[in-house]
Amino acid sequence: MTTTVLRSGRFEGRHAARPPGDRRALVMPRLLPSACALAALGLLSGIALGQPSGASVQRIVTLSPSLTEAVCALGHCAQLVGTDRHSTWPAGVGALPKVGGLEDALIERIVTLHPDMVLLGPRSRAGERLKSLGVPVRTFDARTHADLKRMLLDLGEALGEPARGVELVRSVDAELDAAARRMPAAWRGRRVYVEVNAGPYAAGEDSFIGETVARLGLVNVVGSEAGLFPKLNPEYVVRRPPDLIIGPSLSLSDVADRPGWGALPVVREERICRLDVARMDLLSRPGPRLGEAAQMLVDCLLALPPPAR
């Protein structure tokens, strides 16, 4: 049997005989998250390629919502001349020219925008083509909290804002700590399942979302063995029943109808954070609003009935 999971940004095949009930077998085989799902997640290692920097950067194109948000948080929103279609924050970026997404970047349109810096992630197919056309490209990754901090620092250096990058990292950490202090005692140590998209695709404990919920004192039921954002068989969650479910409102609309889920106390007692599009974007983007996302989750928990001891 071959099971394919997302691990460290790659899909790996495993060939192994598993005894009945082996929980690893509950990860669905050979299923790849859609480009839209990954783009919405903003999954993007600070690889710099001999670029202009500081004051010489006047025209920036971003191909990830996280990078768009980082540019603006570093004070350079005015230099943005184009973004990917998923960038929605801050509000003003919605009016900028859109240049496609993770797998369908509009190369010709990017070139016509005459950027002196294009920011993208390692999974974007646009990098090599843009470089071959002489377009300055920088590649960043943010799969974990540590990656995010490096990205903010490196991007701050590239934009001539090193001090601002350091302060932004401190601010993210401070807000994460503040959110953790607000966590109700009744929820500390409780088990959580975080869904990121229909499928269902979940956030594993090694992903940046997994690190966020761990920072709040929650225990992710989707362990490291599953990968970063695996597609799961519904039985996986039945075998590892959570005390809390977090995910998109639309994706979780059928939660009671999934095989075995209707009998789970977490479903019967409605201990579910159903997030609208804006709040799900906030949670699923590894950018400068990471601390705000943690605060949002605490707010949701404060409105839910605490689990029985």
pLDDT tens digits, one per residue of 23-61: 333 444 433 344 344 344 444 333 334 455 565 889 999
Percent of the chain with pLDDT strictly greater than 90: 75
The CATH homologous superfamily for domain 2-32+184-302 is Nitrogenase molybdenum iron protein domain (3.40.50.1980)
- Asked if 140 and 121 touch (Cβ cutoff 8 Å), the reply is yes
Residue with tokens 């990017």: 110
Q: Output the pLDDT for position 255.
A: 95
Is a pLDDT exceeding 70 seen at residue 194? yes
CATH architecture type of domain 54-160: 3-Layer(aba) Sandwich (3.40)
Domains 2-32+184-302 and 54-160 share a fold: yes
Q: What is the pLDDT of residues 257-291, one digit of tens each?
A: 999 999 999 999 999 999 999 999 999 999 999 99
Q: What is the pTM of this model?
A: 0.81
**160 Cβ neighbours under 8 A, 6+ residues apart:** 53, 54, 55, 57
What confidence category does residue 141 fall into, taking pLDDT thresholds of 50, 70 and 90? Answer: confident
pLDDT at 306: 85
* Domain assignments of the chain as residue spans, ordered by start: 2-32+184-302, 54-160
Considering the chain, what percentage of its residues have pLDDT values greater than 70?
Answer: 82
Strand-pairing partners, residue 272, are 245
| Average pLDDT of the chain, as a whole number | 85
**pLDDT at 145 exceeding the cut of 60:** yes
CA separation (Å) from 37 to 1, 167, 185, 284? 26, 31, 33, 10
